[in-house]
Amino acid sequence: MEETDMGYSTVLTPPSQPATCPAKSLSPQQRQGLAVQGLAGSPIAELADEFQVSRKFIYQQTAKAQEALDAAFAPPAPREDVLFYLPVTKSWLRQLILALALVCHSSLRGIVVLLHDLFDMHVSLGTVHNILDRAVATARAINAQQDLSGVRIGAHDEIFQNGQPVLVGADVDSTYCYLLNLEEHRDADTWAVRLLELQDQGLRPEATIADAGKGLRAGQTLAMPDTPCRGDVFHVQRDVGQLVTFLENRASGCVTARDQQERRMARAKRKGQGNAHSKRLANLRAQETQALRLADDVALLARWLADDVLAVAGPDHASRCQLFDFIVAELQAREPLCPHRIAPVVRLLQNQRDDLLAFAAELDQQLTALAHEYQVAPAVVRKLLLLQALDPNTPARWQQEADLRRQLGNRFFPLHEAVMTLADQVVRASSVIENLNSRLRCYFFLRRHLGPDYLDLLRFYLNHRCFPRSDRPERVGKSPAQLLTGQAHPHWLELLGYQRFERN
């Protein structure tokens, strides 16, 4: 092996032995000159004798030179301008795989296909799984370290995947998801164990809100006996709304049946056979009248329930209870007209009255406290609350506001702002948990089986990604974890130990 000033050469021939092939001893400059002479038309045989090479070798060099000339003078191919260059490293590919799974809701096999089609990389399914699995330990540790003492109102619910329940819990104000567990059962003991574990992280909400799930409520009673569990207005209004829709559709069917029978009778009369249809037409008219009256009555009761009883701006708790009982009694009186649909709604309302109106009792206490703070009558504060429910385009709204301004003077504006802030903080429905469930389903449908590792990683991502937009301006550009604690944190990829790519 020959030693040179750059190290050891790869030529294995002895240093004193000359190269056996003259073509191999030609330098790049000599090969270039040989090719130029061949292109210039010099006789190939003379060039072969001069350089002691074969004519085939000369033809090969000439062909290379010709290809280079053709490429140099070829018209440029149209192409898009390069925006920026991306250094594709192993770390960047791991971030891409995490982002595809969590941000883009991609399945593991979808990630494998994308890397093959766009990056010409053959990555196995196991490699993708291992990359996600390596991020679980860090995500789980961050989840366990989160202080949950800032949760004011918690929302609890259950979502099912492949027949198995997933227990879900989130903070209403920040939307921080503090519970996302796949369980074998959803009984009281399971809920109690999970809630007790969360108390070790500081979870002690003022109240929770949930539907009528028996296991959920019984579990909270065991784990948090002093924490009230309010009823969820959303589910009740949904069930009542479905009843209204059913009765309206049935009334519309009765109208259609009566109209069709009248057409048949008109045709029969022209043939002198109208009496054969008169009895059925009379029955259909009676059914139509009854169905229309029932649909109108139930729709009116549903509006009273939504606008007067369960609305934030409404009467005091005692009056709401009386109105609630009146609505239930009126529905129960009409139960014989449609027992299979009205009876379940009546039982639902009877069993959940106190839970559904628990927010109104708390609201009364807060309004009374404001009245004492500003030294006004509680009825005046209630009028300010009811003012929010009036249409701003009606003269009555501005007339009442003008009367309150004259009555309160310089106390009107601060008290008005305090009442508006108080109304915004009232929680009547678990809308946050329903929104979270809708986002979870986008992830769950990609896989038949869920595991605790995947759910821990998913919960970490949902809590540490920033909201790009929101109906509440204070949430835009912030993550649920930041909203809960009031402290900023690095990007979720940086929390997992990665360095994000930044363009120069």
Question: What is the spatial distance between Cα 238 and Cα 302, in angstroms, rounded to a whole number?
Answer: 10
Query: What would the pLDDT profile of 371-399 be if each residue is shown by its tens digit?
Result: 999 899 999 999 998 888 788 888 888 88
Pairing of strands 207-210, 3-4: unpaired
240 and 347 together in one domain: yes
The string of pLDDT tens digits covering residues 42-61 is 888 888 888 888 888 888 88
Does some domain include residue 500?
no
Residue 296 tokens, joined: 């109108």
Residue 85 lies in a domain: no
CB atoms within 10 A of CB 191: 28
| pLDDT value of residue 441 | 86
Q: What are 430's two structure tokens?
A: 């678990």
| C-alpha distances out from residue 258 to 248, 249, 275, 296, Å | 15, 14, 16, 18
- Average pLDDT of 303-320? 92
The answer to whether residues 106 and 158 belong to one domain is no
Residue 477 is assigned to a structural domain of this protein: yes
Among 341, 356, 371, identify where a domain stops: 356
Same domain, 182 and 203: yes
Nearest 10 degrees: Cα torsion 289, 290, 291, 295: 100
One domain, residues 201 and 246: no
119 shares a domain with 10: no
What is the pLDDT, as a whole number, of residue 392? 83
CA of residue 324 relative to chain centroid, distance = 34
Same domain? 303 vs 376: no
Q: Note whether 179 and 289 are same-domain residues.
A: no
Here the CATH number for the domain that contains residue 457 is: 3.30.420.10
Mean pLDDT of 270-292: 84
Q: Are residues 153 and 191 in the same domain?
A: yes
Q: Mean of the per-residue pLDDT values for the chain?
A: 88
Query: 63 versus 278: which is more confidently predicted?
Result: 63
Domain membership of residue 339 (yes or no) is yes
Range of the domain at 16: 3-73
Residue 283 lies in a domain: yes
Same domain, 347 and 245: yes
Place of tokens 């040989």: 34
| Torsion sign across C-alpha atoms 466, 469, 471, 477 | positive
The whole-number pLDDT of residue 448 equals 67
DSSP state at residue 207: E
- Please provide the DSSP assignment of 317-363 as one string: HHHHHHHHHHHHHHHHHTGGGSHHHHHHHHHHHHHHHHHHTHHHHHH
Q: Give the per-residue pLDDT at 20.
A: 64
The yes-or-no verdict on residue 11 having pLDDT over 90 is no
The angle at the Cα of 422, spanning 228 to 205, to the nearest 5 degrees, equals 30
The per-residue pLDDT for 262 is 87
Quick one: pLDDT at residue 393? 86
**Domain end (from 397, 424, 451):** 424
pLDDT tens for residues 392-425?
888 888 888 899 889 888 989 999 999 998 888 8
Asked whether residue 146 is assigned to any structural domain, the reply reads yes
Which among 382, 398, 424 is the end of a domain? Answer: 424
Say what the pLDDT of residue 5 is.
Answer: 40
What is the pairing mode between strands 207-210 and 229-231? parallel
DSSP conformation letters of 233-271: HHHHHHHHHHHHHHHHHHHHHHHHHHHHHHHHHHHHHHT
340/420 same-domain check: no
- In angstroms, rounded to a whole number, what is the distance separating the alpha carbons of residues 345 and 327? 11
| 504 located within any domain | no
pLDDT single digits (tens) 103-135: 998 888 999 999 999 988 899 999 999 999 999
The pLDDT confidence band at residue 17, using thresholds 50, 70 and 90, is very low
pLDDT in tens, 166-204: 999 999 999 999 999 999 989 999 999 999 999 999 999
Residue 162 gets the label, from left (phi > 0), alpha (psi -120 to 50) or beta, of: left
- Scanning the structure block, which residue is given the tokens 């109108």? 296
Instruction: Provide the pLDDT confidence category of residue 85 given band limits of 50, 70 and 90.
Output: confident
pTM of structure: 0.74
Same domain, yes or no, for 68 and 110?
no
In a domain, 502, yes or no: no
How far apart are alpha carbons 290 and 254 in whole angstroms? 10
Does residue 449 or residue 192 have the better pLDDT?
A: 192
Tally of domains in the chain: 5
Residues 241, 324, single domain; the answer is yes
